[in-house]
Amino acid sequence: MTEGLVSYLPLILATFLLAGLVKGVVGLGLPTISVGLLGLVMPPMQAAALLLVPSMVTNIWQLADGRNPWPMLRRLWPMLLGIVLGTLLLGGWLRGRDLAQASQWLGMALVLYAGLGLLAVRFHVRPAQEAWLAPLIGAATGALTALTGVFVIPAVPYLQAIGLEKDELVQALGLSFSVSTLALAASLGQRGELLQPALLGLSLLALVPALLGMAGGQWLRRRISAHLFKRCFFIGLLLLGAELSLRGVL
């Protein structure tokens, strides 16, 4: 498995550099871009295995802003628990199964996410609704994580809907992505062939361009329109998702 990946090493490094750059500018995008682009040349869950180390480290970087994470953790724990359970339960059920349409599912998830972003769709969740909605959102996010390796839908729209301030939203996204990454690692561990030492070594190597890209993105964020950049990001995701969705259909 990993021998074939070596031929894709330049693409892997370039992909994580771009994904880190986007995350540095808009605060998200690492899993969607990395798994989406690499999903063009390899199975999505193999791309997700390469994502593990860069995702975990960049999310910790995003969280390390000096604010206490416990208040947010107390608020979000039902959703986070749902993410873990959804990822592990569906991941366990998928073990040993051949997901021939995994790329199409990934493409549809990217199209949905990009469409919501381009249309500026905003939901509103009242505090009284969080108690029952948060676990369902978490479970759905976990299921899509186990299926596609991307953990933005529906967690990101939900977090945008519960009335968080800008800094709180960044912290909440960091927590959600960190828990999703750990749950994804555990799910891939259930499918032992997807979590080999050599593959983790490539994931560790991908951390370098991801960190360089994130640092560059944070520098760039102070000099460009984040709104315009995010719009370009969603258009790119829409095109990428459409390509993956239609692959094998046309």
Q: State the total domains in the chain.
A: 1
Residue 127, amino acid: P
In this structure, what token pair is assigned to residue 92? 């366990």
The pLDDT-based confidence of 93 (bands split at 50, 70, 90) is: confident
Which run of H or E residues covers position 126? none
Looking at the predicted structure, is the pLDDT value of residue 193 above 60?
Answer: no
Q: Would you say residue 250 has pLDDT above 50?
A: no
State how far the Cα of 229 lies from the Cα of 223, in Å rounded to an integer. 11
Cα first-last separation, the chain: 28
Residue type, 7: S
What dihedral do alpha carbons 234, 143, 204, 20 form, nearest 10°? 10
Rounded CA-CA distance 97/130 in Å is 34
Is pLDDT of 206 > 90?
Answer: yes
**Mean pLDDT of all residues in 174-193:** 87
Q: The whole model's pTM is what?
A: 0.88
Estimate to the nearest angstrom the gap between the alpha carbon of 168 and the chain centroid: 19
Q: What is the pLDDT, as a whole number, of residue 79? A: 98
pLDDT given for residue 96 in this prediction:
67
Given this model, what pLDDT does residue 129 score? Answer: 93
- Which domain does 14 fall in, by range? 2-246
Nearest-angstrom CA–CA distance, 13 and 204:
11
Mean pLDDT of the chain: 87
Residues 191-216 have a mean pLDDT of 85
CB atoms closer than 10 angstroms to residue 54: 28
